[in-house]
Structure 1
């Protein structure tokens, strides 16, 4: 029953309305916050739930002023923050014709404007690489993260922070009618390859496990940490067990629920190239390049990479 999977997750393995795979690993984006740092600044997790990025900036500036902490950390060159921002609007940096679409893309420009302001106002800590990104989190320099839910495994490795983190929805982009508080970053699907010797058996296996069995997902969650894309799994007792690390929130059922709201957007095999180009543009803008020139360069570079 394809209605038992979120529309976005299904679309990753569809061509012309035909299914070619079964969604598996959940990549729904979450926002995670240190509640002790929020409390120090006079906020709770509810203040960061279902908000806009402009409200996030208002709170982040206050948090930094009162605590010296950043409300978010992000990588300068490899970060996914901008990709999640635009995809939460059901948009992308590539259009439906498969062409680079940065200049003249209203959603893209709004995302860039917001992101640059977040950096310039000490709300986002812009770091150079993944190791620095992780150290800002584990070292307590950043009070929050927005990323795919797989980031919870990294957080849970900081035993001294048990009970201090909570999750909620990511902020949504101001001024875009299609904006939501939901995005995706990561995940996977299962496929039957063309050289399969017994297609019927393979189809039956996928349909009876990843495609329909809550018992199956209950069994693999504690053993592997793989979070289901199959929406009914989120209703099970296993998925609704409170997480001690996340202040007893039932994070797994929450993540599955988030995945049902993520909007569809244009897919591209040049995801990482687009990410690199737009992040370079942001760094250049922060360092003084005018926005129009930086975005045009990003557009031209991405268009060139798409011809290679």
Structure 2
């Protein structure tokens, strides 16, 4: 959770006091009352990211390990209900497009963005004059006594086509490139590429503070959070599933539809389309 430390301070909010999503909502109400700024950048229909992060925090995803849809699970309903609760509290900023989000960021329209590690570079590029004003904290939890769980968004894939005449050589070349610690560190230093190769994250460069984020040891925190991110099964149906999920978010937030009913309908649609 990236947040504007200066706006929190202005409203008298301490990030360390925000443990649960309910804490987050209450802090958002204080922020809105004292500064007029929305707490969280959360799309109403363009993206389902907030719901999806919460779903992962609860150990679920669109599909189970066998590829069966499970969007009508108790965890899924709980995640969607929390999104609705946040929206109805009047503390969310609708980023109807990436450009809209950037404009809102530079105009101090919201204080927080829940996003992956790659957002570090995006914030710096979009708002260079806000250096020293941003910080980062773990995502709030659903229950104070629950173990912290991270989430993921985006990522990259390297694949060797099964029809390749040189599949084994290609695999070895990938290993040669991606398991080079120095190359991973150089990619991070020069291009902001946060590596997936775990040994590279042991390099000192990832333990250093980031001046833009007030000297916070940002990447060290992401390394620790990464250890709590659950493995999920994207399946070949992910692209269609995410579009269906966005529509569900829109129905719940904009049409005041019941989350349980919406997700039950989505479950039936997924089973019909995906044959699971």
Q: Give the TM bin, normalised by the shorter chain.
A: 0.7 to 0.9
TM-superposed CA distance for 1:194, in Å, is: 3.4
| 1:171-182 paired onto structure 2 within 5 Å | 171-174=140-143, 180-182=148-150
Q: Could you tell me which residue of structure 2 aligns to residue 66 of structure 1? A: 34
TM-score (norm 2): 0.87
Q: Rate the CA distance shift 1:194–1:35 in 2: closer, same or farther, 3 A.
A: same
Structure 1 stretches (4+) deviating beyond 6 angstroms?
Answer: none
Select 1:279's aligned residue among 226, 243, 246: 246
Partner of 2:10: 40
Contact 2:71 2:263 in 1 (8 A): yes
Q: May I ask how many residue pairs the two structures share in their alignment? A: 272
How far off its partner does 1:189 sit? Answer: 3.0
| Structure with the largest fraction of helix | 2
Instruction: Name the structure 2 match of 1:170.
Output: 139
CA contact (8 A) 1:89 1:180 kept: no
C-alpha contact (below 8 Å) 2:25/2:91 kept by paired residues: yes
Deviation at 1:219, TM superposition (A): 1.3
Higher percent of residues as strand: 1
Counterpart position of 2:70: 101
Gap regions ≥5 residues in structure 2: none
2:85 to 114, 117, 121: 117
User: Equivalent residue for 2:61?
Assistant: 92
Give the one of 229, 243, 250 matched to 2:196. 229
Q: CA RMSD in A?
A: 2.5
Deviations 1:118-171 (Å, cap 9, x if unpaired)?
000023223433332332222211100001222222210211101110112112
- Check the 8 A contact 1:118/1:124 in 2, yes or no: yes
TM-score w.r.t. structure 1 length?
Answer: 0.79
Q: 1:176 to 1:87 in 2, by over 3 A?
A: farther
Q: Is the 8 A contact 1:83 1:275 kept in 2?
A: no
Where relative contact order (Cα < 8 A, 6+ residues apart) is larger, the structure is 1
